[in-house]
Chains A and B, each alone.
Chain A
Amino acid sequence: MDELAIEVKDLSFRYRQTTHAALSHVSFSVPKGSFFCIIGGNGVGKSTLCNTFVGLIPHYFLGKMDGEVRVNGQSILDQSIADLSSQIGLVFQNPFNQLSYTASTVAEELAYGLGNRGVAREEMVKKVAAVAKLMRIDQVLDQNPLDLSGGQAQRVAFGSTFILEPKILVLDECTTQLDPMGADDIFAIVKRLNHEGITVVMVDHDMERVAEYADQILVLAAGSPVLQGTPAEVFGDPRLAEFGVEPPAYATVTQALAQRHLIKAELGVTKEQAVALVKEGLNHAH
């Protein structure tokens, strides 16, 4: 059996002073080293779920929690958010809200989490330089983070999380501030880290990207899991539209072509798969 990075068992959560459960009987597991995506419409509990992984729920956001969440085998209830931060990192949507507001330069911002861990300055300087190079922000190290563009600020937010060397990375709609090329750059880095063994849990509305990167996809609807499987399994499911999810354009096109018997009855969810299917169909026609 695969070792598990995250294990969620019958998790339900209701925020304090609310009547509806944000999450209801959610169970799934994320194997170590995998790329796991969570998708669904707006307000279905994706961010709430991400917050449980890093311990923000139940330690920061109060409410009624049932069930269990384990990160690297340990219950989040037995660990503080600070303890969990050494294993799992979270990057979310607005980069400017991910600044510590203690730093007047990007370098200081990147080093903030290391300072909270008591890392020696010499080591900090080395790590900051390495992460800045990785994130391509080494040219702005002396600038005030508040003066950066949204894209640059998001790179700083990523860098501030990567620098803590988490074994699990949670990305909650974190590329919305980036232009398509900037987002591709970031995902190239994320993919590389994933290949190096980092587990990635990603929430995203870009289904092309989800199809390209995910090993497994979990679909949430009204706080409950409704589908789980590989990209081909999830995006090929006829019930997908009911859950407010539109499949990637490649899946729609290959499905339409297959229905007209122009290509073989297979679902191409990524660009590469779709192109291969169309090429094969054309060769067959000739």
Chain B
Amino acid sequence: MGSGEPVKSPIEKLNPLTKMLAIFCLGLATLIYPNSWLGLGIVIVLFGVAGIAHILTSFAKTIFGFGIPISLMLFFIQGLYSPKNKTIIADLGFAKLGEEGLLYAAKIVITLLVFLATFYIMNQTTYAGKMVAALTRSGINPQVGYLILASLNVVPQMHRRLDIIKEAQEARGVETTGGLWARLKAYVPLMGPVVMSSLTDAQERGMTLETRGFANTNVKRTSYIEVTTSKADTYLRAGLIIFLVAVIIISIWMRWAQ
């Protein structure tokens, strides 16, 4: 979720609250389902969703970039050393590979991937302002919304200030490029002015917010950013809730049947 505009797509048009509900429902469904197959299916479907959202390449990079190393690590630890291991599928000499540990590792990896994938899609397809506008409209404290947005926007501001100070230092002959040591020597003295001026700015920013009615408590806040709940949102929300309820019922039945 950046402060810039995401790429236009049917996923981008969805209400941010629908996407948050998707994270919750799909993640929880994967978590409570007794095995990894449901989660795997969800991850495959999410690749399709990422394609619709025009973010397939970066999505795949993130999922594989996180999934492969974390899978290897968990399969190694849980597969070889899990106390749950009873069914040995391979003897490597120094340790024995257990089926229960591998299945447990797969379950953890797939649950993490579902949460990561849904969150990544929401992050890449949702404009931060729209998210906060939707949350504020649904009753969240506007000051919490401010904290989210200000945190996202204050970084570019500090970066901007750092560039200004860096340019001023360069104009005075300070070397800010080159090797690591040269950069360290140049950047460490810059941090003081950046942090101090940011603190000074915060006071004036506080004044601005106050004079623009930030502390107004007796009105329901509105936003310039249009947040709509389309038919697609309504159907998706209903579908997600039905899906979660169905998964809960099936999971209980599967555990009971065992």
Contacts and interface: CB of A to CB of B under 8 A. Distances in A.
A259 interface: no
A146 B156 contact: yes
B223 A146 contact: no
B219 A116 contact: yes
B146 A102 contact: yes
Nearest to B3: A104
Contacts of A98: 204-205, 208
A111 B211 CA distance: 14
A194 interface: no
Interface in A89-118: 89-90, 92, 94, 96-104, 107-108, 111-118
A78 B224 CA distance: 31
B223 A121 contact: yes
B160 interface: yes
A120 B222 contact: yes
A100 B208 contact: yes
Interface residues of A, number: 45
A82 B205 contact: no
A187 interface: no
Nearest to B161: A96
A85 B212 contact: yes
B51 interface: no
B129 A82 contact: no
B226 A113 contact: no
Given A82-B215, A90-B211, A113-B212, A102 B153 contact: yes
Contacts of A86: 213
Contacts of B226: 121
B209 interface: yes
Interface of A: 51, 54, 56, 59-60, 80-82, 84-86, 89-90, 92, 94, 96-104, 107-108, 111-121, 124-125, 128, 144, 146, 160-161, 164
18 contacts: A56-B210, A81-B210, A81-B215, A84-B211, A86-B213, A96-B201, A97-B204, A101-B149, A102-B145, A104-B128, A108-B129, A112-B212, A116-B142, A117-B216, A118-B219, A118-B221, A121-B223, A164-B213
Given A92-B207, A161-B211, 9 more contacts: A101-B149, A102-B153, A104-B129, A113-B212, A118-B222, A121-B224, A121-B226, A146-B153, A146-B160
